[in-house]
Amino acid sequence: MSLNYIKNFYEGCLRPPTVIGQFHTLFFGSVRMFFLGVLGFAVYGNEALHFSCDPDRRELNLFCYNQFRPITPQVFWALQLVTVLVPGAWFHLYAACKNIEQEEILERPIYTVFYIISVLLRIILEIIAFWLQSHLFGFQVHPVYVCDASSLEKAFNVTKCMVPEHFEKTIFLSAMYTFTVITILLCIAEIFEILCRRLGYLSNQ
């Protein structure tokens, strides 16, 4: 029985009840994760090693880098992806435990409501992630970062640090914002598809 639950859960996650939901899964699972996993590592993988300040001292570089990056972009985006997956995963886990077929989700009002709630939660989480990303990383990576290192040593005071490959990081940052916006739009379109199909189902009764 437990293997059947796992099978239903797996199929539910891969094949949502809507066409747009299936496209979202393809977009989310393939393009976004590939972009982050492969290109994200290439762009941000050695950032801390090449981040240098004036004077070029190890403790100063580490201190200013931690100030520049309170959280590394790869970790933030990985957390974003996992967090956004949670509402849908919970719904499909519930559906698997109740042996709910994908076709039933849009036929039974209670299941439809639960599914719409999971999509709305995804939208809310993406909006929160967008807001956090804008506050943590901004919309552009500048070539020079001004670091306040007075708490490390008074002799340093304010120092300038060079940010490696700032233009590539700006492009990647813009792409991640774009992915977030596209995901939000897909979720909104999925809700409209659910409502249209639900109305169509009711009109045929």
More confident residue, 49 or 14: 49
What pLDDT is recorded for position 1? Answer: 46
Query: How is residue 132 written in tokens?
Result: 């956090």
Looking at residue 175, its amino acid is A
Counting other chains too, the contacts that 44-52 makes at CB distance below 8 Å and 24 or more residues apart are 44/72, 44/73, 44/74, 44/169, 44/172, 46/164, 47/72, 47/164, 47/165, 47/169, 50/164, 50/165, 51/161, 51/162, 51/163, 51/164, 52/161, 52/162
Looking at residue 2, its amino acid is S
CA-to-CA separations, 19 to 16, 23, 52, 96, 123, in angstroms, rounded: 8, 6, 49, 20, 18
Taken in order of first residue, the domains within the chain and their CATH numbers are: 18-202 (1.20.1440.80)
What pLDDT is recorded for position 126? Answer: 93
Q: Average pLDDT, stretch 39-65?
A: 83
What pLDDT is recorded for position 133? Answer: 93
More confident residue, 80 or 12: 80
- Residue 11 clears pLDDT 70, i.e. is over it: no
Q: How far apart are CA 125 and CA 85, in angstroms?
A: 10
Residue 192's Cβ-count burial label (10 Å; 0-12, 13-18, 19+) is exposed
Q: 109-135 pLDDT, tens per residue?
A: 888 888 899 999 999 999 999 999 999
User: Treating both helix axes as pointing N-terminal to C-terminal, what angle do 73-97 and 109-137 enclose, rounded to 10 degrees?
Assistant: 170
What pLDDT is recorded for position 201? Answer: 60
**What b/e sequence results for 3-37 when a residue is b if at least 16 CB atoms lie within 10 Å of its CB, and e otherwise?**
eeeeebbeebbeebbbebbeebbebbeeebeeebe
Q: 65-74 pLDDT, tens per residue?
A: 888 888 888 8
More confident residue, 131 or 106: 131
pTM of the model: 0.82
Q: 155-184 pLDDT, tens per residue?
A: 667 788 888 888 988 998 998 899 899 989
- Residue 8 clears pLDDT 70, i.e. is over it: no
Closest residue by Cα to residue 160 from 172, 178, 173, 148 = 148
